[in-house]
Structure 1
Amino acid sequence: MVKHASLPRNEPGIETALGVLKQHFGERFQTGAAIREQHGHTTTWIENQPPDAVVFPASTQEVSEIVKTCAQHRVPVIPYGTGTSLEGHVNAPAGGICVDLSQMEQVLEVNSGDLDCRVQPGVTREALNTHLRDQGLFFPIDPGANASLGGMAATNASGTNAVRYGTMKDNVLAVEAVMADGRIIRTGTRARKSSAGYDLTRLLVGSEGTLCLITEITLQLQGIPEAISSASCSFPTVDAACQTVMSVIQYGLPVARIELLDDTTVKAVNAYSKLDLPETPLLLLEFHGTDAGVVEQAEIFGALAEEHGGIGYEATTTTEERNRLWQARHDAYWAMLQYRPGAQGIATDVCVPISRLADCVGEAQRRVSELGLIAPVVGHAGDGNFHVSLLVDMSDADELEKAAGFVSWLNDLAISMDGTCTGEHGIGQGKRPYLVKELGEATVVMGAIKQALDPLNLMNPGKIL
């Protein structure tokens, strides 16, 4: 496991805050070892650093009271959604109180005429889409996991639909948030644009709990498309697949999703999901629009793919077949783990300009081969974001050292290509060493914002900066 240093603990303050919150919240305040470890959980190789207690508020006012208590006694506050983050976001290196927002799970308002809604942070994306379905609406951001919308906002999540619908920052109109001193603020309205001051919404979206706790989100929605078509196409090389992606983007074809799977991933998915896809690099696509529109888009893509050696191109509008393909993509992580039983998956997450995608993926694959590692590749290829998933025997010190070296090398490679060390997983603890390399002096400005809004460094300390 990767270890991160513990931060100084305020033992007297923690002890006092525990007593105050226990008295106020009763059974909704938990200090058992198992639940604390669960709330320090991370789905990657970063060491677990559990909080001292977990509290389950049911309202914004209760969140405010928790934060005020913690501020008074100088105790860290760590927000928690569903625990699907990958970079140690919910660890508590200085101890403190984990605020689990899962009980705040109401869809407060849906304005179908304006294509927006207000939700509490514990609502998951799947629950929201189930709620919206009979109104002909959906929320398009799909990170794969059934994450909470509060956590998705806090980490600026994206996913398979980002190439068409953008990321969370493009779909959050406003948030309600509890600041470090317990004050409750709103950052905007339901209006689709505003010139009223600083863009506080985008400042707080992606702040990973280091500036505030998000307690309500106003989201932009989309109408469910009249027609949806999915397609798959195999390629002789990853380079050919990436060149096709670049052609699609340059052509302006409005794909909703375009996902890359390398040959190793396809082998794993075939075995896990009982498919018979050709075991070569694969693109999976989805088109949204009218009946005629999706047929035309699929035909244009087929022609572009053929120019780059694409084979076995198939398109379907059948719901069952579409769901089977995309479920296989969402199951890719579990398929990879089965591909090497007993191994742990270490997910990387870089993003580069589309024109550098083929180069970056190719260099990564060559490096993996040189190191003798097993590392399937999947990617949200339409926006240049891809993941090399290292399958590592955690008991093998040599493998661990190679994996750590590869992760560092890949982050540096992406930055050297004018890309980013994290396309969607965020900084948390895991990516902190690379933020200065990527943003340089801009991190000084980030530090000044953090100091101004959280001078005591109580909001999710040890993350980002």
Structure 2
Amino acid sequence: MVLASSKSTLPLSDTPQLTYDHSPSNISTLCNEVLKDHAIKHSSDPAECFLKSSTKHSPAGEHHTPTTVFYPTTTAEVSSIAKACHERNIAITSFGGGTSLGGALTATRGGVCIDFRNMDRILGVHDEDMDVVVQPNVGWVELNEWLEGKGLFFPPDPAPGAKIGGMISMGCSGTNAYRYGTMKDWVISLTLVLADGTVLKTRNRPRKSSAGYDLTSLIVGSEGTLALVTEAVLKVATLPVNLHVGLACFAELQTAVNVVGKVLKSGLQLEAIELADKPSIHAINQSGLGEEPLLEHPTLFLKFAGGQEIVRAQTQFVEELCKQHSAQSVEVSADKGRINVIWGARKCLGNALVAMKKSESDLFLHTDAAVPVSRMAKLVEESIRIVEGSGSGKRRGWFCANVGHVGDGNVHTAIICPKEDKDAAEQLLSQVQRLALELEGTITGEHGVGLKLRDLLVKEVGQEGVDMMRRIKIALDPKGILNPDKVVRLSANI
């Protein structure tokens, strides 16, 4: 007989039963132990605790909340909290910018939350080595404002409120991924606190290393289930020069997709290529989050940078291509004011879609599918057919939109609907995600698995792949206290 503990993978049926003690007396003793050695700010206010697990982007049930929130300022303080929680079987969730999706923040088992808001310092910059050292709650927007004076920037650009720690945990990207890659391409080294409070650094600062297992990459995208990030060494790039942005509107969405395909095949390397359908542009206008109204047509947002000859060749090619495809309007500008208007409209789109809720209780549901670029057009076309073809949206008054980082094949289909329509909407979005898998794609290009996509993950990497992930989870976190139930199931009923 082969013992479960000797297997290379860990099926759910062999997973040890996890026990947690979140009794008021145990939580109170935990706080006393932690505060004995560290003056860490903390709160047990139910309203404050609820906001750490439920956001407008990813609402959670009222029973899925932590009972205490800690606000550490150092790695040592985080280690002290983790060690005490490990000894007392208390679950830990973490909080940064609160922009994650898919239930990643939900405290399914209760427990405590570590909010990193007081760990928001830029610790150093090595100009000659092109890297920076930061704490987890530094925002990428604020980091780039600080780097701009040095002629540098950090390329990953998810939601404007996102913080570095969360970006690492979710393996995010954004509009710059087509040109610069995703978060995993920009992380050199991490300082981590493991589930039992152990502190380690994954590697030093060189751009390349073959020294053992790649612990850094293991943590990027692990959604807080394997370790807590307390410090990061990040690559930075030279600030793009001669920046131009473009805006092209078309009568039909498919025409815009066709233009993207030809740009990608041209061999020209633009900075970014983004697509928004007509409802997405309507959301921007309706929300008032854009600086000025846009024409409500399927729209391409484009970004160009580099030497003058390179940018001239790119913009001329794209403008001519758009005109050949009967664009309703085409604009390319290097004016900083116009750049802020055009690209600001694209960056506010996520919040604009959430603003289309008719009631506070309405849901914002979405896909995060990504496919090989050659199959991106079919993903867009079929996603629209699945949602609009069902007729559900029109009958129920849903708001539906499609927006994509089409330069790298990542498309988001969004549905805003009443909470009583959740099951119907999720069935349609599940069809979109399964379509992505049929097209040899992924169910999540940048938002992560969280709670919502755990079962579909089996369809993508196979049962053996999920069981291997579960084995890694339990090996590093044998008591299952770090963000339990995310990415892989730890029990059949949660």
Structure-2-length-normalised TM-score: 0.88
- The structural deviation recorded for 1:299 is 1.2
Which of 451, 467, 472 aligns to 1:429? It is 451
Query: Distance in 2 between the 1:335 and 1:208 partners?
Result: 25
Which of 213, 216, 223 aligns to 1:208? It is 223
- The structural deviation recorded for 1:234 is 1.8
> Using a 3 Å threshold, how does the CA distance of structure 1 residues 45 and 106 change in structure 2: closer, same or farther?
closer
- The structural deviation recorded for 1:393 is 2.1
Which of 446, 455, 460 aligns to 2:469? It is 446
Task: Assess if the C-alpha contact under 8 Å between 1:105 and 1:120 holds in 2.
Answer: yes
Query: Distance in 2 between the 1:337 and 1:44 partners?
Result: 10
- The structural deviation recorded for 1:304 is 3.4
Query: Distance in 2 between the 1:45 and 1:430 partners?
Result: 12
> Using a 3 Å threshold, how does the CA distance of structure 1 residues 38 and 403 change in structure 2: closer, same or farther?
same
Amino acid at match of 1:413: L
Task: Assess if the C-alpha contact under 8 Å between 2:60 and 2:106 holds in 1.
Answer: no
Determine the structure 2 residue equivalent to 1:188: 203
Are residue 384 (structure 1) and residue 409 (structure 2) matched?
Answer: yes
Determine the structure 2 residue equivalent to 1:17: 30
Residue correspondence of structure 1 range 316-465 to structure 2 within 5 A: 316-339=333-356, 341-342=358-359, 343-369=362-388, 370-373=390-393, 374-394=399-419, 397=420, 399-440=421-462, 441-465=464-488
Q: Which moved more, 1:199-208 or 1:242-251?
A: 242-251
Task: Assess if the C-alpha contact under 8 Å between 1:350 and 1:385 holds in 2.
Answer: yes
Amino acid at match of 1:405: Q
- The structural deviation recorded for 1:17 is 1.9
- The structural deviation recorded for 1:268 is 2.6
Task: Assess if the C-alpha contact under 8 Å between 1:9 and 1:95 holds in 2.
Answer: no
Q: Any idea what SS the aligned residue of 1:226 has?
A: coil
Are residue 32 (structure 1) and residue 45 (structure 2) matched?
Answer: yes
Are residue 136 (structure 1) and residue 156 (structure 2) matched?
Answer: no
CA-to-partner distance for each residue in 1:346-365, whole Å, 9 max, x for gaps?
A: 23211111122121111111
Task: Assess if the C-alpha contact under 8 Å between 1:45 and 1:346 holds in 2.
Answer: no
Query: Distance in 1 between the 2:333 and 2:28 partners?
Result: 60
Determine the structure 1 residue equivalent to 2:327: 310
Determine the structure 1 residue equivalent to 2:276: 261
Task: Assess if the C-alpha contact under 8 Å between 1:44 and 1:347 holds in 2.
Answer: no
Query: Distance in 2 between the 1:284 and 1:276 partners?
Result: 15
Query: Distance in 2 between the 1:53 and 1:25 partners?
Result: 16
Task: Assess if the C-alpha contact under 8 Å between 1:77 and 1:97 holds in 2.
Answer: yes
Task: Assess if the C-alpha contact under 8 Å between 1:46 and 1:430 holds in 2.
Answer: no
Query: Distance in 2 between the 1:95 and 1:401 partners?
Result: 25
CA-to-partner distance for each residue in 1:394-417, whole Å, 9 max, x for gaps?
A: 3xx3x3332121122222111121
Question: RMSD value over aligned CA atoms?
Answer: 1.9
> Using a 3 Å threshold, how does the CA distance of structure 1 residues 336 and 84 change in structure 2: closer, same or farther?
closer
Task: Assess if the C-alpha contact under 8 Å between 2:279 and 2:401 holds in 1.
Answer: yes
Are residue 217 (structure 1) and residue 232 (structure 2) matched?
Answer: yes
Determine the structure 1 residue equivalent to 2:93: 78
Q: Any idea what SS the aligned residue of 1:135 has?
A: coil
Query: Distance in 1 between the 2:111 and 2:47 partners?
Result: 16
Query: Distance in 1 between the 2:479 and 2:293 partners?
Result: 56
Which of 52, 55, 73 aligns to 2:70? It is 55
> Using a 3 Å threshold, how does the CA distance of structure 1 residues 203 and 274 change in structure 2: closer, same or farther?
closer
- The structural deviation recorded for 1:72 is 0.9
Q: Any idea what SS the aligned residue of 1:265 has?
A: helix
Q: Which moved more, 1:276-285 or 1:15-24?
A: 15-24
Residue correspondence of structure 1 range 170-181 to structure 2 within 5 A: 170-181=185-196
Q: Any idea what SS the aligned residue of 2:443 has?
A: coil
Query: Distance in 2 between the 1:41 and 1:242 partners?
Result: 35
Q: Which moved more, 1:25-34 or 1:315-324?
A: 25-34
> Using a 3 Å threshold, how does the CA distance of structure 1 residues 257 and 455 change in structure 2: closer, same or farther?
same
CA-to-partner distance for each residue in 1:80-113, whole Å, 9 max, x for gaps?
A: 1121111111211111121111111111110111
**Which runs of 5 or more residues in structure 2 are unaligned?**
1-17, 394-398, 489-494
CA-to-partner distance for each residue in 1:294-317, whole Å, 9 max, x for gaps?
A: 222111222333454434222110
CA-to-partner distance for each residue in 1:106-147, whole Å, 9 max, x for gaps?
A: 111101111110001011112211221211111111102321
Indicate the percent of aligned positions where both proteins have the same amino acid. Answer: 37
Query: Distance in 1 between the 2:60 and 2:322 partners?
Result: 40
Amino acid at match of 1:232: L
Are residue 41 (structure 1) and residue 54 (structure 2) matched?
Answer: yes
> Using a 3 Å threshold, how does the CA distance of structure 1 residues 456 and 362 change in structure 2: closer, same or farther?
same
Amino acid at match of 2:413: V
Amino acid at match of 1:464: V
CA-to-partner distance for each residue in 1:32-80, whole Å, 9 max, x for gaps?
A: 1011001112323443511121001110111111111111111111121
Task: Assess if the C-alpha contact under 8 Å between 2:291 and 2:341 holds in 1.
Answer: no
Are residue 295 (structure 1) and residue 312 (structure 2) matched?
Answer: yes
> Using a 3 Å threshold, how does the CA distance of structure 1 residues 183 and 337 change in structure 2: closer, same or farther?
closer
Task: Assess if the C-alpha contact under 8 Å between 2:253 and 2:298 holds in 1.
Answer: yes
Task: Assess if the C-alpha contact under 8 Å between 2:256 and 2:298 holds in 1.
Answer: yes
- The structural deviation recorded for 1:371 is 3.1
Amino acid at match of 2:302: L
Task: Assess if the C-alpha contact under 8 Å between 2:104 and 2:451 holds in 1.
Answer: yes
Determine the structure 1 residue equivalent to 2:4: none
- The structural deviation recorded for 1:258 is 0.9
Task: Assess if the C-alpha contact under 8 Å between 1:371 and 1:402 holds in 2.
Answer: no
Task: Assess if the C-alpha contact under 8 Å between 2:136 and 2:232 holds in 1.
Answer: yes
Structure-1-length-normalised TM-score: 0.93
CA-to-partner distance for each residue in 1:425-456, whole Å, 9 max, x for gaps?
A: 10111211111111102112211211211111
Q: Which moved more, 1:177-186 or 1:264-273?
A: 264-273
Query: Distance in 1 between the 2:251 and 2:418 partners?
Result: 30
Query: Distance in 2 between the 1:47 and 1:237 partners?
Result: 40
Amino acid at match of 2:460: E
- The structural deviation recorded for 1:210 is 0.4
**Which runs of 5 or more residues in structure 1 are unaligned?**
1-6
